[in-house]
Every structure is written in C-alpha cells, then in structure tokens.
Chains A and B, each alone.
Chain A
C-alpha cells in the first residue's frame, strides 16, 4: 500500500511537471554565469559584484556562484551553467591544472569562457584570460618594503598556498627585488595558506624565534593583517608589514599605520573588462584582443590610500 500510494503521488507529480514544463516561453536575455572562489572574501565578492553589475547594465541575466577552491564543485557549477544554456561564463578558477578539463567542456558546450584573476595552464580554450600583473605588483610592493626598512635588517616572509600559481609568482617577484639588497636578510619563510588566522599563528611562532626582525612581507593582505595582529599582541611596534591585493581592511590598516603598503589588484576593472569583451564577442564573434591580458597593479601607501576604495581607483 505504501508503494502503490507513492507511485500514484509520483505519477500525479510527473503529470503536473509535464504541464508546467511544456507551457514555457523562452526568455530573451542571454545568461552570464559568474563563478568565483568564495563570496565571503571581499576580493572575490567585489570581483563578482562588479562583473554582475556590468552584465546587468548591458542587458544580461546573471547568476553568481562560488566554488570554494574545490575543482569538483567548480565542475558541477559549470555543468549547471551548461544546463542553464549560459552564453558566457566568467570564471575565477579553482586551480591552473585542475580546471582545464572543466573549461574545455564549457567551451565545447558553446559557452564563451572568460577567465579572470587566475590563469589556467592551457591556451586556446578560453576566449580571454585577464589577470592582474602579480609579478609587477610584487616588485612594486617589495621595493616599497625595502625602502621602509632602510634596505637593512632581518625580515620574514609569509607565503600563500603553495599550489597556487599566484603565490609562486608573487614570492618570485619579491625576491627579484629583495635578494639584490645586501643589507636585507630573510630569516624565516612560512606558508600561511592565504589565511589570517594561520598567519597570526605562524607570525607568533616566528617572533618567538626571531624577535629582532624589522619587517614581514606577506603574499596577500589577509596574511599581512594576521601578521599585524600578532605583532601587536606581542607588544612590538617597529615591525614593517606589507601585503598584496588592496583589500578594504588593508587600506584601513594602512590608514591606521599597522601596515605600510599593499599592491592593489584592479579587480573591478578586470571584471568590467571581461564582461565588455564577452559582450563584444557575442555581438561580433571576436573580442578583438589577445587571449592573455595582464593588467598592472597599483602601489598603495599612506600617501595615496584615499585614492582607492574597494579594489578600484576612485580619484
């Protein structure tokens, strides 16, 4: 009896679904599917919001999703984009290697894929790969770091997640500048996986072993903020800290003087550019630009901090 009842309910429901399903008009606006690593991180949130706002302004429908740096979840979200007949996928991907097959599948399904913020290790699949210049930004911030330290003293480095290409590019950029200066000595280098709490703990440990360091250079702002908190809780004041990204929290910290400088990634500009190129591509069949596009970062210090807000130059 349970079974027969359930079967009847199922049948009735299927009939209802059928009726609902067949009387449906197609909507005109094309769909832009935006997938970013997370929505609870200010950088990715801003990046997603900027892209969504520009797409809506150009008359598209928009969906925003987050893959949490999980390549499999990203794969499922791309499936959803395919099933929803998305015209464009704006993707900040979950891994340079692990995303290739996923991007290829989306492209095969007829979706124009635009990669922002992070590249993949493959050419000719995405319509464009627009990233900020991590190397140039790292050199900028490292030069400012060296300047703030008077080009002498011991320093520590906090690295990003080792599997992330950006972490590697940034540390290379840092050392291209810092290793040339005889007075500066790297005494500790630890990965804090981009995380504020991990940076706090690692910095506390580093300060135990090297209380005399003059500066800490961090691969991103969240780690720089974690380091600043650890320095403060240790009661130290003379340690210079620099970060990377230009997050609103870091700009506040620069205003307050707990962080010296950061390299601001033009995330809003990149998102808008990606949407505009996608629009161009849908209308003309070409973006009119090369696939790989690198956008320069800006150095933000106390002198110019008021010119920037939310990953964008406002003045």
Chain B
C-alpha cells in the first residue's frame, strides 16, 4: 500500500492524503468514538479506569455484545429480530421453573441438574428462533412483523410460566442435586467474568463463520440480493432460518446469564434489549438493508453503548440526559455512515486517478 502512495504526484498526493485521512476517520468512526469516550470518562471519573470497573464494564457490555453478534447475522440477511429481549426473558424463566419447580414425571418431581436445565432453556429459545425463521423464510411474513409477533408470544409465555411472579432462589438445593447455576454468570476464569468469556468465544466463532465459511458468504449473498442468491443455488430459506436460530441462541445465553447473576428469574427481564442490540449493530456500520457489515463492527458498537451507559452513570448524569445522549450518538453514527457512502461515491473518480 505504501508503494502506491509514493507513486502519486506530490500536489495531488497531498490532497489525496487528506481525502484518504477523512475517509479513514469516517470508516473507523466507531473506534474513534470508542476511544474518545474512554478518554472522556477516565478523565472525568477517577474510578472509571480501575481494573475493578473495567471488569464490571465488560461484563455489562457482554450482554449487549452477545445479542448484537446474533443480531448481525439476521440483519446481514436483510432481516431484523425484535424478539431477542423476550426470548432472553423466556430462557431465564424456563431455567427458573426447572430449578425451583422441577419436572413432574409420573407423579414424582424430578429436578434436572444445572447442565440439563441450561440445555433445555437454550433449546426452548432456539425453537422460538426456528419459528421466527420459518415465519420469515417459508411463510413470507415480513421480518419486522414476524418477530414483533414472537416478541409478544415469548413475553406472554414467560409471564404464563410463573403467572407473572419471580422465581427466587435459583441457587438450587444440595438435596435436589441442582446447585451451581449462579456460577454460570457470576464465576471468574482468570479474573475475567464468565459472560466476557462467552462474548469472546462467540465473537471468534462468529467472525470465523462470517469471513471464512461458505455459510458466511451465503449470508452476505442473501442480504445483498435475495433473488440472485436463490438463482446461484443458495438455499435461501435455510440460511435465513439459521440466522434467526443463532440470534435466539445468543438471546438464550443472555437470559441465562442474567437469571444466574440475579439468582432469580423475572418474566419482564430483557425488555427493550432488542433496541440496544440493533443500536450496537447499526453503530458498527452494518446496513439495515442487509449484505453489508461485520461482526467486529457490532462488537465495537456494543462497547460504545456499554461504555456510554456505564460512564454516564458514574458521572452522575441524569437518567433523562442519558437517554438523549444515547439517541444522539446513534443518530450521528448512522448519519456519518451515510456521509461516508456519499463522500466515497463523489470522490471515487478522484481516488482512482490518485492510484
């Protein structure tokens, strides 16, 4: 890359460099915003840059990031998943029910061990994901409507499980052999909270899937041009269903983490989480039209939102201003996205001449 830079004639080169610098800043805007926020908060709040707080901060970010990673795949296919918050709530409630009420088998109540509880909760959530995918890919319901429907269905189901009440005491009982659930979201591995590990592992897998596998390329192809992808022999419905199932899986993890951290399952858990996840994805530069974007961007977007939320709390900014600021950041980020596209289009001939 540096050799092409040297080959550019000097006056044009200087202007070209400026243009390129602006474009780079626009492209890397999520990182620029992230760094600016880090500098701002650590200079204003003395406690912000302590190991303790950074550990807490990443733990909070992990919740949004997990959802955003799943959401990225859905949005890349041109869809949207509004049901993730409800699915998270449902996952927590299923786990809460199994841990505190058990399963009635032929008159006796069996308490499944924690690992089984987690697997069942995830399976129930992934079933909702299959339903989402089926509605969108097979029944032809618009993604916004289909997942709005399952948003209500899953939330209603979560409320029905306990009749609106909270399942407390998810620590389990030794006599039932189902202790250990709190460790799922509360434990530390190498001084790093377990949700952060889940985020890291899931991110690496998602990144590899998106970049290196045929499935990943199919997702981009479906989002870029549904019809062309179909004609190219890609099994479009299967790809779409898979993305909703992935999204539901990440939502299940989030629901279980929260239930585990609170040691209680509340049916209203996860309300408006879908909006945070969508905001993170959009901040990361993924287009809501599909076909363009990256998992990395979504992770950075989740960090921006998480740092913004926690930093403003630490500064003692009023809750109402927090909402205004969060909204401004989202709008500005997407505005810059559009600016970048226009600028790139306008400068395209110039940049090509520069090369």
A residues at B contact (CB < 8 Å): 1-2, 5-6, 9-10, 13, 16-17, 20-21, 24, 26-27, 39-40, 63-66, 69-72, 75-77, 79-80, 82-85, 95, 97-98, 100-102, 121, 162-163
Once A71-B266, A82-B52 are accepted as A-B contacts, the answer to whether A5 and B47 lie under 8 Å apart by CB is: no
Cβ contacts under 8 Å, B38 to chain A: 13, 17
Min CB gap A223→B, angstroms:
17
Contact with A along B15-37 (1 / 0, CB 8 A): 00000100010011001100110
Cross-chain contact of A102 among B42, B46, B262, B313 (Cβ < 8 A): B262
B195 to chain A, nearest CB (A): 12
CB-based A-B contact count at 8 angstroms: 117
Known: A71-B269, A162-B164. A65 touches B319 (CB 8 A): yes
Tell me if A100 and B264 are in contact (CB < 8 A).
yes
CA distance A98 to B169 in the complex (A): 9
**B228 adjacent to chain A (CB < 8 Å):** no
Structural contact, B28 and A84, CB atoms closer than 8 A: no
Partner of B56, one of A13, A39, A79: A79
Q: Chain B residues with Cβ under 8 A from A80's Cβ? A: 56, 310, 313-314
With A2-B24, A83-B314 known to touch, is A95 a contact of B166 (CB < 8 Å)? Answer: yes
Least Cβ distance of A92 to chain B in Å?
Answer: 14
**B27, A163: Cβ atoms closer than 8 Å:** no
A17 touches B49 (CB 8 A): yes
Is the beta-carbon distance between A100 and B28 smaller than 8 angstroms?
no
Q: How far is the CA of A13 from the CA of B24 in the complex (A)?
A: 17
- Please name 20 pairs of A and B residues whose Cβ atoms are closer than 8 Å in the assembled complex, sorted by A: A1-B20, A5-B24, A6-B31, A9-B35, A10-B31, A13-B35, A17-B38, A17-B42, A21-B42, A39-B319, A63-B313, A63-B316, A75-B262, A79-B60, A80-B310, A83-B50, A83-B57, A83-B314, A101-B261, A102-B262
Cβ < 8 Å to A, chain B residues 267-319: 268-271, 309-310, 313-314, 316, 318-319
Question: Which chain A residue lies CB-closest to B165?
Answer: A163
A-B contacts besides A98-B166, A162-B164, 10 pairs, CB < 8 Å: A2-B28, A9-B31, A10-B35, A27-B46, A40-B320, A65-B319, A80-B310, A83-B50, A83-B57, A97-B169
Closest 9 CB pairs of A and B: A97-B168, A83-B53, A101-B263, A98-B264, A13-B35, A97-B166, A79-B56, A20-B43, A63-B316
Tell whether A83 pairs with B47 under 8 Å between CB atoms, given A1-B1, A71-B264, A98-B266: yes
B207 to A: closest C-beta gap in Å: 15
> A71-B269, A72-B269, A82-B52 known; A101 and B313 CB under 8 Å?
no
Given A77-B313, A82-B52, A83-B50, the answer on whether A100 and B168 have CB atoms closer than 8 Å is: yes
**Range, interface on chain B:** 35 or more
Contact A9 B164 (CB under 8 A): no
Chain B residues positioned under 8 Å from A9 (CB to CB): 28, 31-32, 35
CA distance A13 to B42 in the complex (A): 11
Let me know if B164 and A98 touch, CB within 8 A. Answer: no
Give A8 to B102 CA distance when docked, in angstroms.
55
Q: A75 with B261: in contact, given A95-B166, A163-B164 (CB under 8 Å)?
A: yes
Chain B nearest CB from A77 CB (Å) reads 7
Asked if B182 is at the interface of the complex by the 8 Å CB criterion, the answer is yes
Report the bound CA distance from A9 to B47 in whole Å.
23
State the Cβ distance, B269 to closest chain A Cβ, in Å: 6
Proximity bits, B164-177, A CB within 8 Å = 1, else 0: 11111100000000
**Given that A17-B49, A82-B56, A98-B168 are known contacts, is A1 also in contact with B264, CB under 8 Å in the complex?**
no
Bound Cα distance from A65 to B39, whole angstroms? 23
B258 within 8 A of A: yes
CB pair A76 B28 closer than 8 Å: no
**A303-B75 Cα distance, complex, nearest whole Å:** 62
Query: How far, in angstroms, from A70 to B53 measured CA to CA in the complex?
Result: 21
Q: A21-B42, A63-B316 are in contact. Are A6 and B264 (CB under 8 A)?
A: no
